[in-house]
């Protein structure tokens, strides 16, 4: 992402009652929930892998990733496929149905306490249509280093 003073599009999704955003340029597609093949001996937030048009793609449950209580998948549940630094991952979210334009100026640094997600995973926040949009730091969310640490704890 370039730090130019321009508008950028974000995909908005929900986790519980909070709204999150990821830049549209890292999102490959948004899928409905489908059968996921479990991969044993991995952290519990990794739900497994799916066949995404011929590519075997790992799926992360974002609720579990952020230590929120899990919820049954519903008609609204979506998988957001993101590409980042050669990693393709699907993120399970409660719902995704909006795209917003955000001006870089409108993004503020994350406050110390916000929602349920550790501040490490947040790049910034932005007010939009009377709701607070939390912009995720995907690099951190998908950091495999952290995953290794988690795996060793489990």
Partner 1 sequence: MDTNQYLEVFIDESNENLQVVNDRLLDLENNSDDLTIVNDIFRAAHTLKGMSATMGYEDLADLTHKLENVLDAIRNEKIKVQPSILDVLFDSVEALEDIVGDVSNGGDGKKDVSSIVTKLQAIEAGEDLVSNGSLNKPVSSKGESTIELDEFETTVLDEAKSQGQNIFDINVSLAEDCLLKAARVYMVFEVLEKAGEVIKSIPSVDQLEDEQFEESFQMLFVSDEDADTIQAKIFKVSEVNDVQVNTFNPVNSASNLKEVKNVAEEEVSATVEDSVKDTNKEQKKAVGNKTIRVNIERLDALMNLFEELIIDRGRLEQISQSLEHQDFRETVERMTRTSSELQNVILTMRMVPIDQVFNRFPRMVRNLARDLGKKIDFEIEGAETELDRTVIDEIGDPLVHLIRNAVDHGVEMPDERIGQGKSDTGKLLLKAYHSGNNVFVEITDDGGGINKDRVLQKALSNGIITQEQASNLNDRQIFELIMASGFSTADQISDISGRGVGLDVVKNTIESLGGSIEIDSELGVGTTFSIKLPLTLSIISVMLVVLDDDTYAIPLSSIIETAVINKNDIYKAHGREVIDFRGNIVPLVHLRQVFNFNDMYENDDYYSVILVRKGDQMAGLVVDSFIGQQEIVLKNLGNYLRDVFAVSGATILGDGEVALIVDTNALIK
Q: Which is nearer to partner 1, 64 or 88 (CB)?
A: 88
Shortest Cβ distance from residue 55 to partner 1 (Å)? Answer: 7
How many CA atoms lie within 13 Å of 67's alpha carbon, on the beta-carbon side?
A: 6
Closer to partner 1 by Cβ: residue 6 or 148: 148
Helix (H), strand (E), coil (C) string for 28-44: EEEEECCCCECCCCCCC
Cα–Cα distance for residue pair 79/132, rounded to 1 Å: 22
Q: Which of residues 57-86 bind partner 1 (CB under 8 A)?
A: 57-58, 86
Whether 19 contacts 131, CB under 8 Å: yes
**Tokens, residue 96:** 């995704």
Residue 44 touches partner 1, criterion: CB under 8 A: no
Among 9, 24, 25, 39, contact with partner 1 (rule: CB under 8 A): 39
Q: Is 142 in the site for partner 1 (CB under 8 A)?
A: yes
Positions that interact with partner 1 (CB under 8 A): 35, 37-42, 46, 48-51, 54-58, 86-89, 142, 144, 147
């Amino acid at each position: 992402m370039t730090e130019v003073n321009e508008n950028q599009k974000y995909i908005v999704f929900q986790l519980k009652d909070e709204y999150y955003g990821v830049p549209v340029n890292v999102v490959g597609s948004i899928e409905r929930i489908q059968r996921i093949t479990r991969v044993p001996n991995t952290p519990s937030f990794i739900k497994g892998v799916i066949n995404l048009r011929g590519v075997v793609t790992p799926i992360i449950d974002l609720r579990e990733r952020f230590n929120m209580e899990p919820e049954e998948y519903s008609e609204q549940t979506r998988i957001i496929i993101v590409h980042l630094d050669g990693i393709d991952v699907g993120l399970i979210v409660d719902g995704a149905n909006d795209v917003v334009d955000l001006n870089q100026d409108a993004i503020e640094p994350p406050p110390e306490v916000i929602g349920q997600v550790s501040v490490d995973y947040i790049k910034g926040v932005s007010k939009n249509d009377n709701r607070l949009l939390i912009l995720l730091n995907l690099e951190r969310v998908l950091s495999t280093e952290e995953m290794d640490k988690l795996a060793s704890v489990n």
